[in-house]
Structure 1
């Protein structure tokens, strides 16, 4: 999952970004609404974490503009404002959820995972495709009830395929959502990592659609 964090408090942004990164998310940061706006319009993200008190305009103003321009990815608002009227203004602008400062990093993580799941049509925190399961809270993967050891990058790749299933996901979409924009891989790198996932999960679980991309398939049995 690739997240854009828009927060002008550098210490808070670094601490939160590091904590979310340790939990397996890819986090890119912006210190102003303008910088965040540019990234949001030029890159692909799965969710935005937005502070309201930005130096170049209230976060609700930026959010309202994004919604007006049909930018519809989930937005989690961070705010030190506790009044209901302030929260109501954020929801009216298009916020999907709120966290009030000070907050626990775990709460931000859980809320982000829930927003992204729901944006893909999943209500339960554990995503499944046949006997293959991915726990969005813990980042753990099991096959027929047994844990599967994956690298961080393999886990991010599989998680995106599971969120998108049964839709076919192109290589370019995987590159945009699973890899850092400064280290986006070529198609061969993605092919290699897909091959590694197939060896660990069973080759039939990830289907290649020539000229289109990859699709996760719900196959019964334990796989290879």
Structure 2
């Protein structure tokens, strides 16, 4: 069972989705909008299912507000399938998106996949990367922590997994498909746009100038490369 906060202004959609997910074993708490006390609403919640088109503060703004203080997994539920809207939702901090209408079983699969990725750190704790520095960036695989110039960064589980995957392959170009398989999982149901959005969010946190990245390079037509030279640190 997953404790889910579902933010949706359409009462009929909220009722149908909540009932369907409840029948699959989840516990769903519904909010009609995100204009109230989000911190209180998030208490005890393991995942947020967030509608994009909300009155007042829309899903983008609510997602950004949550991300300022929490790394809780967020799935954006939207009636918009345009690339611009999808990427904007992912760049605001969502871990995944689902286009309406979506059956409860599709939502259940996405929820389980996001939760599994959030909880699964075993593959990285068994990797060869211990603690390394890349300029002012320190990646501590054992503690699953990243520091920039000594300051601990707040990264979501998705961003940590992506950075670790890239840092474990310095100088190697990894395709979006490879990153989906390694940093997400082989059963992931999404597409490569989620990789691009996650890279943009990660760059905003680790690069000196995200518009001129020097840590994560884009190799056009292929994917991404972790570029800086590293200095080994003792585990």
Shift of residue 82, structure 1, vs aligned partner = 1.2
**Within-5 A mapping of 1:72-221:** 72-121=71-120
Q: Who is 2:176 aligned against? A: none
- Deviation per CA, 1:176-217: give whole Å up to 9, x if none: xxxxxxxxxxxxxxxxxxxxxxxxxxxxxxxxxxxxxxxxxx
Q: 2:42 matched to 1:37?
A: no
Structure 2 residue aligned with 1:4: 5
CA distance in 2, matches of 1:33, 1:65: 10
SS of 1:3 mapped into structure 2: strand
Normalising to structure 2: TM-score of the pair?
0.49
Give the number of aligned pairs.
122
* Cα displacement string for residues 129-178 of structure 1 (whole angstroms, at most 9, x for unaligned residues): xxxxxxxxxxxxxxxxxxxxxxxxxxxxxxxxxxxxxxxxxxxxxxxxxx
- CA displacement at 1:39 relative to structure 2: 3.7
Q: For residue 56 of structure 1, give the secondary structure of its aligned residue in structure 2.
A: coil
- Change in Cα spacing, 1:84 to 1:4, as seen in structure 2 (3 Å) is same
Structure 2: state its 5+ residue gaps: 123-235
Determine the structure 2 residue equivalent to 1:155: none
Matched residue SS, 2:111: helix
1:81 CA drift (Å):
0.9
| 1:14/1:36 CA distance change after superposition, 3 Å | farther
Offset, 1:117: 1.3
Q: Under a length normalisation based on structure 1, what TM-score does the superposition of the two structures give? A: 0.51
Question: SS at the partner of 2:48?
Answer: strand
Cα deviation 1:47-83 (Å, max 9, x = unaligned)? 00000111122111111121122x1111010101111
CA-atom RMSD in angstroms: 1.9
1:52-63 aligned within 5 A:
52-63=52-63
SS at match of 2:35: helix
Aligned-pair CA distance for 1:28: 0.5
Deviation, 1:6, is 0.5
- Looking at structure 1, the residues matched to 10 and 91 of structure 2 have their Cα atoms a distance apart, in angstroms, of 25
Moved over 4 A (4+): none
